Amino acid sequence: MPVTQPRGQCYSRRMTRAFCASRKFNTTESHWPIWEKEAAAVKFALEAWRHLLEGAPHKFVVYTDHRNLEALQTPRKMTPKQLRWAKFFARFDFELKYLPGKENFLVDALSRLPQYHADKQHTMGTIFSNTQLGMGVVMRSRANKEGTGPEATPPPEKDIRDPWLREHYQELDYKDGVWLKGSRTYVPEDQRKLVLHDHHDNKTAGHFGFVKTLHLVRRKYWWPLMRKDVKAYVHQCPVCATVKGGGGKPSGLLRPLETPAAPWEHISMDFIVDLPPSNGKTVIWVVVDLFSKQAHFIPCRSMPNAEQLAQMFIEHCYKHHGAPSKVISDRGSVFVSRFWKAFLRQLGAKQALSTAYHPLTDGQTERVNQVLEQYLRCYTNYQQDNWSKFLAYAQVAYNNSVHSSTGHSPFEIVYGRNLRTLPTPEVIQSDPVPFAEWMARIKDAWPVITQALEEAKAAYKHQADKHRRPDWDLKPGQQVYLSTKYLKGRQPTKKLAAKYIGPFMVKRLVNEVSAELELPQSYRMIHPVFHFSLLKPATESSQWHPVKPPPPPIMIGGNQHYEVAEILDSRVRKNTLQYFVRWKHFPLSESEWVRDADINAPTLKSFHAQNPHKPPHKGGGRFLGGRDVRIPNPCHLWSADKEQMPAIKAGRP
């Protein structure tokens, strides 16, 4: 029998009808294998006439049109459900015999009752939406039900409920129960959102942009100001806002750093990591002076901790240049540690950390890193294990070369002369300069260097701002999306992951181009201050995409409970199984890791059925709306042989 058809049985004796019974399969039963469906029909018959058949003095016969059911009473490998049924069948003394369907006409008639097939006309609706079938068909069907079908004349003006149509119906044609504008169907105001949804959100529409969506809608439908409505619907689509890139220029004009007045007052630093071992070294620490552009390249065995970094700073920088007034770096774990911050306070240096995932804040050090890497590529061997012996030469070469911003080499700015790297012929050797003149030359050069740096920054800002958008008017309390460009996602690949997450609320404005966001608990390890280039404003609630506030938590025993929408991932942390949960009526960005003991058991079963390679559920738990589930041996739950899967039993209340 088809999965949606009913089952029927007749109890007769000596071919004389005594009782008949039938019922329809429910949704779960309709997905059973055919063998279980036929066995369920036998079970239904025995339950219906148990008072007559159980303990009967004579053996009775059960006829079936499914020959494989004859093996029901023979030993075989069964599922837990089939074992329960077998225990029930053992209470009766009967014999199963095969009878072709054409001879078993009484039962066949019961399975074809019209009330069991009344919903077959709606099967197409489960595959295609109303709009895919054509809103004209839907409207025409509605009109026929209201008595205004194909043969009817247009309804009176007083009976037209659509406001625009009531005033302009003379401009349209009426045919087959619908209003037409030329060959296109007029869409009433209360149906426009449905049309836009099916021509933009539907799988056959693809969440394309405004132009493609407009052309798709225009093929069959019309209403006034349709272009404006389509543009607003597509622009405000929350799915498009997260999965599509920002497009165009990044937000936030360039804000150059403050120019220092003397060498080694403001410095920046960074690390070059993941290098092949060279003389026991794998990391390079790069320190750059923002005034003279002088740099130090210090090799390290591994990534230093804060205490080691402080000792290195004393040995390589402090003893040569003294204490700086400002130190610029990214938000690496070493630079944000309490020890390093305390060390800088003792030196009297102000720490300036970049915003989260914005390397342009320390763009100078990033550029020096590129120059150093380029130098090492020129001289390292094939195995790349000799780079450490070239660091000293790289430092000399860099500091002795003219910098484009100042027009002088770092050595010349700091020491008043260029470094002599090769023997100089006697004929071109310069005469010694008196000390006072030398010092005056250096001090007189600093204001010139400052002016040159300011001019270079202005020129760079002018060029950079050509590729940026002006700062948008962001205010505290506004909702924004956060770019996932630099975020480490939990999904298998970033190629199919969302481009943005959120929306998140702006907590405060840090400066003209940076904002602090109010991030959920699951993002507590991320610094909440971001540059405008990583943010995108979220559209406010509208008639097309109303924003509904999340429901309040359900209070049980004085504790807050939220409903689970789905489980996205699982992991083991500190010997505790955790699940990454998306809460119902909350955005994906509000998802968080929770213990396995706090998850609804049916949700767990569905997750592991689809992700058998993930860490399994190891024990009972509790959660709103579900029963506790205990699995005797979770290792067997994912057995390839489903018939050998152990039973899942309900546990504690």
In the chain, the domains with their CATH numbers are 7-118 (no CATH), 128-235 (1.10.340), 266-425+432-446 (3.30.420.10), 479-537 (no CATH), 554-650 (2.40.50.40)
Q: Which amino acid is at 189?
A: E
When the pLDDT of each residue in the chain is averaged and rounded to a whole number, the result is: 76
Predicted pLDDT at 39: 85
Predicted pLDDT at 196: 93
Can you give the pTM of this predicted structure? 0.56
Distance between CA atoms of 296 and 271, rounded to whole angstroms?
A: 12
pLDDT at 91 over 50: yes
Residue of higher predicted confidence among 628 and 249: 249
Exposure letters 170-183 (e unless 16+ CB within 10 A, then b): eebebebbbbeeee
Distance between CA atoms of 188 and 168, rounded to whole angstroms?
A: 12
Predicted pLDDT at 54: 84
Report helix, strand or coil for 112.
coil
pLDDT at 286 over 80: yes
Q: What is the average per-residue pLDDT within 173-189?
A: 86
Lowest mean pLDDT segment, chosen from 225-234, 243-252, 367-376, 563-572: 243-252
pLDDT at 620 over 50: no
Q: What is the pLDDT of residues 327-341, one digit of tens each?
A: 988 888 888 888 898
Q: What is the average per-residue pLDDT within 549-572?
A: 72
Q: What is the pLDDT of residues 34-53, one digit of tens each?
A: 878 888 888 888 888 888 88
Q: Which long-range contacts (CB under 8 A, 24 or more apart) does 8-13 make?
A: 8/41, 8/107, 8/108, 8/109, 8/110, 8/111, 9/41, 9/42, 9/44, 9/45, 9/48, 9/107, 9/110, 10/106, 10/107, 10/110, 11/45, 11/48, 11/49, 11/52, 12/106
Most confident range, picked from 3-7, 42-46, 393-397, 561-565: 393-397
